[in-house]
A and B are shown apart, each in its own frame.
Chain A
Amino acid sequence: MNRSIRTRQRLVGVSLLGLLFYFSPILTLFDKTTEWAGFPISYLYLFGIWLALILLAAWMVEGRKP
């Protein structure tokens, strides 16, 4: 099992995490009109998770140099 296969599998995990946050009832918990720090909470949730997923993927791909 080399490093690149492990990275691939971790990235699949990122994808599954995204599915969980965007397409499960978790989404409805944040699909509300309440505001948080002046932002509608749904916007914060959608964009926040998005950025987190991207950074997670970036860290997996680039973070640990061979």
Chain B
Amino acid sequence: MTTTLIVVLSLGYLGMLFAIAYWADRRADQNRSVISNATIYALSLAVYCTAWTFYGSVGRAAATGVGFLPIYLGPTLIAALWGTLLLKMVRVSKGQRITSIADFIASRYGKSHLLGGIVTIIAVLGIVPYIALQLKAISRSFTILLTYPEVTMPNAADSLPLLQDTTLYVALLLALFTILFGTRHLDASERHEGMVAAIAFESIVKLVAFLAVGLFVTFQLHDGFTDLFDKAEAAGILNPLIVDGMDGYENWFSLTLLSALAIMMLPRQFQVAVVENSSEHHLRRAIWLFPLYLFLINIFVIPIALAGQLTFAGADVDADTFVLTLPMAYHQSTLTLLAFLGGLSAATGMVIVETIALSTMVCNDLVMPGLLRRWKQIPPNADLSQLLLRIRRGAILLILLLGFLYFRLAGEAYALVSIGLISFSAVAQFAPAMIIGLYWRGGTRDGTLAGLLTGFSIWIYTLLLPSFAKSGWLPVGLLEDGPFGIELLKPQALFGLTGLNEITHCLFWSMTLNIGTYILFSFWRTPRVNEATQATLFVDALKHQRFLGVGLWRGTAEIDELLHLAERFLGASRAQALFQAYATRRKIQDIKQLPADAETVHFAETLLAGAIGSASARVMVSSVTAEEPLGMDEVLNILDEASQIRAYSHELEKKSQELEAATRELKEANERLQELDRVKDDFMSSVTHELRTPLASIRAFSEILNDDPEIELIERRRFLGIIVSETKRLSRLVNQVLDLAKIESGRADWNAEDVDLLEVIEQALASTEQLFAERGTQVVRETPNGACMVTGDRDRLMQVLVNLLSNANKFVTEKSGIVCVGLHTYHDRYEVSVADNGTGIAAEELPNIFEKSRQAGTASNKPIGTGLGLPISKRIIEHLGGRIWAESDAENGAIFTFAIPKKTE
């Protein structure tokens, strides 16, 4: 195949990717996002499968049997935890507009510039071998393809002069492509919809290509899986034992753990899984669809490895190239080109996303803090968005050239998978800071710093240096005898630990010391305010439906300044549009009228965080606002949502209890009112009845007098006498009704004077003397000597006593009645009783005797009277602070008693 054909094909493929990205970006601008889809999201996660997977898995399977599997089992097992772990990361990142893993760790530990920078350096250095791996895969597959259909292994790249090395051109081309791809936009925002669409497409291409080769090898060249296994066993190359392939189960375990950590910690995975995530709901499908993708792309790894070993037995063909060389060996030109494209897509996908993620980190967490420090002296230009893009472009180019450099230095000494695992081990150092930091509030910046630096140093010493030593750039004696001949410090058998492969060895020491120092240094001091704030926001991320953080700012700001700041980093039109959208969300017409409150400042800060990272955004925003620092207690109060909710629910409970009490009172009041209403109705009917009786007799006698002029004088006198007495009764009744109404409504006049009860009794008896005489009733008086002083109204007390006496007189039998008035002294009160030997009161009547409208007796033997005397008496006595009651039995008549408190001295 000619160079032109392959180059045109490659460029054509890249052009197509570009078209897809362009189309997706256009759709995103029209708000018709293509990537807002759970399946696309899961496919974009498959950027995990790089040239390492595409070419390297087969190479590793040829060497170790199932040794390639842990790299995919780890992600499968941890994917099941994404429902909590990844969801938490996504929720936090959306709330704080986190743009990279460096930003994430820096934010978690108090928006620390130092941490962001360290994480960026570790990520760049750690990922460089991984990028070298992709460059190596592309350039090798390209060189191999040139000799089609002859299968020859290319010379080692480092034997070529620099400018003849295809890898250099691959690196430069990919840099150009990535720059066009990822930094076309002027808005420098953190999301790249076009890129995600292209990555999802690439995931399909590499899966289809790999499956095509696998199907060809398994079912075209051989008679299915079992046939292949039989032949392999006959040839003695079948190696199905896990323990053999992995050199022991501990390596099997450690590689799975490593890959489980890597899927969360690789900058490109963070980019697609967290930063580019458009909806939390997409996570659900990724939990099973992404592992399914891994499963499918791994089904044919062992068959291809076995078939390659059978086909090229004895020939010098690198197992890492079987996916490409097998179709070549059987003259399948289309399939060969498809395999090449699959490998190309796997490598480009990784390089694009990884370098974009890394360039964002370099720009936001490494360069920006330095610039911010410089800008304190020299104020920057108005529009910084171009500068941001230039920094990112430079970073992309630099990272790819570093990758190329590593490839030249160390790339040929290792198989693809081994290079990849070196990178995995580097990014795994982020795991303690990230994962423990999501669940433990106690982690501090110092602890993270110590853990990261320790872990990374171990990585350099036990993995990176040996890779240089093996390539001849460092003396091999370092590996064999240890530095300065100290055996205990041998990089691949640190402290004498042997029996593990180099990855497991590095993972054990780096993780142990990383976690150890992280925890140890975190215990050193309690978290500071900003650390505690961020810790709570991260740890409690799933408790809030909405991201908290707004209430954590207090100070004064100008809306103009904030807008101006945003314009400088995002470009004027974009910043204005975003502020306008925010204003509309807050139902405010004009941007200028936005209140510069905590919410607006928070909005501006997260907006900036998307462009320059959270730590830098914090610095920039505080440069244009006057922030009042919040105390630790205040922050914790704001953040302790649990206590807020508790207080809130406590308040609610109190309110509801109050409401219940009020309801109960209202109900009781209502019952009382209904009762009063009923009593009033009874009273009305009884009073009207009372009024009708005298009226009827007055009317009857008046009519007789009117109709019959002939009537005798003596009769006429009698009739007139009746009329007069009935009229008196009528007016007495009306007076009493008025009197009762007056007392009840509280309008009655009361005198508060010193009254001698004996005097009152004396007067009452005097005024009723005539009545008793008329009916021949004998009056007995039993009163002590000396004054019995109470405080009250003399006339009213008179009224009560007269009423009781005249009542008693009414109920006794004529001529033989006895009425006894008594006064008894108690230590706090006087009791005055009026007893008679009359007909008494029936037991069932007793409780109601003081109610108005009730009068003892039935209608037929109704005594003369208004029926209002006792109710009035009761009210008077109660008004004076006493009480009144009646006792009775049928033989001995009734006793009415009232008690009045003694006058207080």
Contacts and interface: CB of A to CB of B under 8 A. Distances in A.
Interface string A9-37: 00110110011001100011001110101
Interface string B57-89: 000000000100100010011111111100000
A54 B291 contact: yes
Contact of A14 (B80, B240, B295): B80
B83 A22 contact: no
Interface residues of A, number: 35
Query: Per DSSP, are chain A's interface residues mostly helix, strand or loop, or mixed?
Result: helix
B249 interface: yes
A16 to B, nearest CB: 9
A27 B229 contact: no
Contacts of A7: 83
Contacts of A42: 66, 240-242
Which of A18, A19, A46 is packed against the most chain B CB atoms within 10 Å? A18
B78 A40 contact: no
Given A15-B77, A38-B230, A39-B225, A57 B288 contact: yes
Contacts of A15: 77-78, 80-81
Interface in B253-283: 253, 256
Interface in B14-51: none
B80 A18 contact: yes
Given A58-B288, A62-B288, A46 B80 contact: no
Contacts of B299: 47
Contacts of A35: 229
A41 B77 CA distance: 22
A4 B289 CA distance: 18
Nearest to B228: A38
B292 interface: yes
B295 A50 contact: yes
Contact of B81 (A11, A41, A43): A11
Which of B66, B225, B287, B292 is packed against the most chain A CB atoms within 10 Å? B287
B302 interface: yes
A35 B252 CA distance: 22
A41 B81 CA distance: 29
Nearest to A50: B295
Query: Per DSSP, are chain B's interface residues mostly helix, strand or loop, or mixed?
Result: helix
Contacts of B291: 50, 53-54, 57
A40 B81 contact: no
A62 B292 CA distance: 14
Contacts of A31: 241-243
B238 interface: yes
A33 B236 CA distance: 12
Contacts of B253: 23
Contact of A18 (B73, B238, B287, B295): B73
B284 interface: yes
A40 B253 CA distance: 21
A46 B84 contact: no
B83 A58 contact: no
A27 B249 contact: yes
Interface in A46-62: 46-47, 50-51, 53-55, 57-58, 61-62
B242 A27 contact: yes
Given A47-B299, A57-B291, A58-B292, A12 B242 contact: no
Contacts of A50: 73, 76, 291, 295
B302 A12 contact: no
B285 A62 contact: yes
Contacts of A27: 242, 249
Contacts of B285: 61-62
A7 B84 CA distance: 10
A39 B299 CA distance: 13
B238 A40 contact: yes
A54 B229 contact: no
A25 to B, nearest CB: 9
Contacts of A19: 77
A44 B225 CA distance: 12
B226 interface: yes
B241 A57 contact: no
Nearest to B244: A31
Nearest to A11: B80
Contacts of B84: 8, 12
Given A23-B256, A43-B66, A61-B287, A38 B229 contact: yes
A13 to B, nearest CB: 8
- Nearest 10 Cβ contacts at the A-B interface: A38-B226, A40-B240, A58-B288, A8-B83, A15-B80, A57-B288, A14-B80, A11-B80, A18-B77, A42-B240
20 contacts: A7-B83, A11-B287, A15-B80, A31-B241, A33-B240, A35-B229, A37-B226, A38-B225, A39-B225, A42-B241, A46-B242, A47-B299, A53-B291, A54-B292, A55-B288, A57-B291, A58-B289, A61-B284, A61-B287, A62-B285
Interface of B: 66, 69, 73, 76-84, 225-226, 229-230, 238, 240-243, 249, 252-253, 256, 284-285, 287-289, 291-292, 295, 299, 302
Given A22-B256, A39-B229, 5 more contacts: A31-B243, A35-B229, A38-B226, A40-B229, A40-B240
